[in-house]
Homo-oligomer: A and B are copies of this chain.
Amino acid sequence: MADQTPSGESLLFLTDEQLRKGIEAMFFAYRGFTADPDRILEGMDYGRAHHRALHFIHRSPGTTVSNLLSVLGVTKQSLNRVLRTLIEDGLVEARVGRRDKRERHLHLTAKGQELERELSDAQRARMRAAYRAAGPQAVAGFRQVLEAMMDPELRRQYQGLKENGA
């Protein structure tokens, strides 16, 4: 028992083997995480990229295109392809900014809300099952580790998303 911090905690959770297991857990869990929405979307003309756009527009209604760009971390050409189809299909509405007319403020239409809801219901159902199985303590730890794993800039994005429901 040599791996002890000055304060007496075991450092065994930092072994390469433990870290590798964590890496694999992320890999397999992420597959599960996206599986349900992917299943819903296949067959429709949409993919994961559309899901992400819907999610963040739902989350921050009225967000601008460049805002969304920085959250999603893709190029405007990539996002535009996705956004165009969503707007054409009447799931998303782009309103010209009132203060700054260059900006487009993005909102979900009723139809957009509906699909977002369907996707997020599926994803939340899995999340809820996992949370319930693991318990509140585990969930707190889960969130802590994920947060620590983010790039600092992304962490700020993450924390900036409106927090409530408590």
* Chain A positions near chain B (C-beta within 8 angstroms): 9-10, 12-33, 35, 52, 55, 59, 73, 120, 123-124, 126-151, 154-155, 157-158, 161, 163-166
Q: Which of A144, A163, A166 has the most CB of B within 10 A?
A: A144
* B-chain residues with CB within 8 Å of residue A59 when the two chains form the complex: 20, 24
A29 B149 Cβ-Cβ under 8 A: yes
> Can you give 25 contacting A-B residue pairs, CB < 8 Å?
A9-B135, A13-B131, A14-B128, A14-B131, A14-B132, A18-B131, A18-B165, A19-B124, A21-B161, A23-B33, A23-B123, A23-B127, A24-B59, A25-B146, A26-B33, A28-B154, A28-B155, A31-B151, A35-B151, A130-B145, A130-B148, A134-B141, A134-B145, A138-B141, A138-B145
Q: How many copies does the complex hold?
A: 2
Given A124-B16, A124-B23, A155-B28, also A145-B163 (CB < 8 A): no
A57 to chain B, nearest CB (A): 13
A147 B27 Cβ-Cβ under 8 A: no
B24 A158 Cβ-Cβ under 8 A: yes
